[in-house]
Structure 1
């Protein structure tokens, strides 16, 4: 049976302006500049730079006009459009009193664009020096196209044969592809076109001048690769009946090889991301000084042309329908420009107060640069200090960088959980990781310390941590297990 009933409930919805503000806060400096350009292209009422002269207006009463529809299909009377609000010069936005990173005296130098030869094109150019039949060349070029950026062909010969048939209409056999793969192996850098690490290292060793240690290294990679990768040096000494010094020199030859031949190509066209710090912290007379990157504080104003159009409309005696439509369009653009300028100001304030709270919370670290001085700090700690939502703090921390006297760092790296030391005091997990890293760096590499011994050492230093926690921190620091840290 169907019934009708009323159900009251409270719900919270974000306005479009709030959503846009959160997106602006999340943007780092370079992305923010791009967003600024997009807004200026979309809104002609928004202009960059300072106004040449202040706009002076006469005081007059607002006249009554007929109402008309706005973009949201709401009826708005003309007397609701307080044009004086848009022409007021009384309130000067904060960003107009701030400086940015650029000076009028600075010279702009155009950076020439490099047009390097790509990795694959370089291989094709080398391939052209070989005398091959037309069909063989087509297969060889397909093999070059199958090489990834690290220099490997990570596909089986049967799969390549099938792909040649289905995508290139080239019908061949595995023996032909294998033969042409050996041609690819002659290209530079040495090791390119290998199907796995073992083959890559062998190719590089075979291109070297044969010596006693090169031959031993080649034999080890070819026949004892598993023992080598697991660093079972005792087995290798027993297998080859050589001295520690001989094995050490052979392993040294292997360590000089490049496991990623494609990655070392100087013409690699991969884009390198440049980090632009959003904040800078300086130590001035023993005190911390925080500054926001000036590129986050652009100088904006409302277009003078749009102001004059509104002024003309107010002074006009006869108001046509077209004029009414035009003034509504102008109002919408001015509303958008006014909101965007205000959103930029709120973004600046949010970024600054958040980073300022983080700076003072971690004052000991920023003054000395000792990572063991980092205090336990979670998002809620900063949110409580500045009175903002945790999600807002997260948006600032996850995408912003700060330039410090000790390097440029991602802000979220200053956040960490707390653990108890043997004194019952809260210490940062970052502090424990740093101590663990120092212990591992100072260990005897001939007999590296296993996790249980590392746990004992940290316990002696006042940090009672379980072995499994040591393993977790070691993996987060990208440090291998003890056996893999062993050296001859």
Structure 2
């Protein structure tokens, strides 16, 4: 074979990941709030870009004026420490006792539990054991009930005392056998304590009404509001989808005056920023068009839900089906629905809820995982609590009565996702 060196020309096409393309991909996966934050960061760097926030240019949406009332709702809430300290003046205490109590309140965590020991406070300033116990007893009389407890069992016991529901059995169970009690090893406890399982169950039912985290209501987290990205509504007998524009990019007119001043550096700068502005407008328009196309494809596949609003009417659907219909890549569909919310006539829900794996049935159509979860919830809700259904019994029931072929392991997985305990822990005596 003859081999020789030479120079040859060859044409080829390849896709380069430019910064603009990378940002366009990011824009597609941004939900409404993140998109607004991104555009505002761009507006700080580009004098041509101005961001208008609020629901605008939406034929069925809210205007900024319609939402003005929501900004007048107070977001100020007293924190747990201030709330507890505000009750101290109503207690008969001297200055030293108030100092001890204030220091104890400063060492209460966000859940309302006291994270301080006698040895730790005594290392800061001298405190007698009797003074420590007195301050702790006063602390545990403050609102909310259960605040100042040193453990979960202590917290529940304080609330039982506050309700005058403390009993000898409750004391023993919470103080000496708490782990076995909450793990529902009631038959062992029944033999050990010489009481019936029914009595233990009554104590368990009693503490179910108590708050294990009394300080959680005073959390400092701000409320998070879900802003829909797409709105679907019925118009003249047809389902219509539209983009909910919580923010909009437009050009600042005053910045245009910088151009035309015969300054080459200024001209280059303004040309670069104008190109950036045009690219941003185009990228947002492309994002919105892709999102609309995906939404209409979802409506076509999940029409029963948009007509009835019943979650069990959602059919099995994978992203590849939407990608094949729209002739785009599956990853594009994934980015389009990532963290997005859709406003329907039946409420605002995540777009990912419409994608559910299929499970085999002995009927023509397969069942979605969402539908199977609803069936499991329904079965557990109507079961005999004295003899709850095991995972295998649920699997057998679904196969015989609903034609859904599902293994015991899958039932167990779905049950855990739904927060339903095992049959042993659902049993009532």
Tell me which residue corresponds to 2:184.
231
Corresponding position of 2:208: 255
- 1:474 matched to which residue of 2? 415
Deviation of residue 471 (structure 1)? Answer: 0.9
Among residues 101, 113, 118, which one is paired with 2:61 in the alignment? 101
Report deviation, 1:164: 7.7
Q: Which residue of 1 aligns with 2:93?
A: 131
The structure 2 residue matched to 1:290, chosen from 241, 247, 263, is: 241
Give the 3 Å change call, closer, same or farther, for CA 201–104 of structure 1 in structure 2.
closer
SS in structure 2 opposite 1:408?
A: strand
Matched, 1:409 2:370: no
Q: Does 1:144 align with 2:105?
A: yes
Instruction: Using structure 1 for the length normalisation, give the TM-score.
Output: 0.73
Determine the C-alpha separation between the residues in 1 that align with 2:65 and 2:182. Answer: 59
TM-score, length-scaled by structure 2: 0.82
Residue deviations 1:83-109, cap 9 Å, x none? xxxxxxxxxxxxx98758355875844
Matched residue SS, 2:265: helix
Deviation at 1:116, TM superposition (A): 2.7
Deviation of 1:464 after TM superposition, in Å, equals 2.3
Aligned to 1:399, the other structure's residue is in SS state: coil
* Residues 185 and 203 in structure 1, CA contact (< 8 A), matched pair in contact too: yes
Query: Would you say 1:42 and 2:45 are equivalent positions?
Result: yes
Is residue 272 of structure 2 the alignment partner of residue 303 of structure 1?
A: no
RMSD: 3.5
CA shift at 1:307, angstroms?
A: 4.0
User: Which sections of structure 2, spanning at least 5 residues, go unmatched?
Assistant: 1-9
Displacement, 1:236?
5.8
* TM superposition shift of 1:205: 1.4
Question: Counterpart of 2:4?
Answer: none
Q: 1:419 to 1:107 in 2, by over 3 A?
A: closer
Gaps of 5+ in 1: 1-7, 50-95, 314-318
Q: Is the 8 A contact 1:205 1:218 kept in 2?
A: no
Instruction: Report the counterpart of residue 389 of structure 2 in structure 1.
Output: 449
| 1:271 matched to 2:222 | yes
Of 22, 26, 42, 1:23 maps to 26
Q: Which one has the largest radius of gyration?
A: 1
Distance in 2, matches of 1:164 and 1:404, equals 60
Q: Partners of 1:282 and 1:99 in 2: how far apart?
A: 11
Task: Kindly tell me the number of residue pairs found equivalent between the two proteins.
Answer: 413
- Tell me by how many angstroms 1:334 deviates: 1.1
- Find 2:150's aligned residue among 154, 171, 195: 195
Provide the residue aligned with 2:232 in structure 1. 281
Q: Distance in 1 between matches of 2:230 and 2:200?
A: 51
- 1:250 Cα deviation after fit: 4.2
Q: 2:276 aligns with which of 336, 355, 363?
A: 336
Pairwise CA distance, 1:151:
1.5
SS at match of 2:215: helix
Indicate yes or no: 2:337 matched with 1:376.
Answer: no
Q: Deviations over 1:326-377 (max 9, x none)?
A: 1111111211111111122112112211222222222222222333332222
Q: Distance in 1 between matches of 2:73 and 2:398?
A: 53
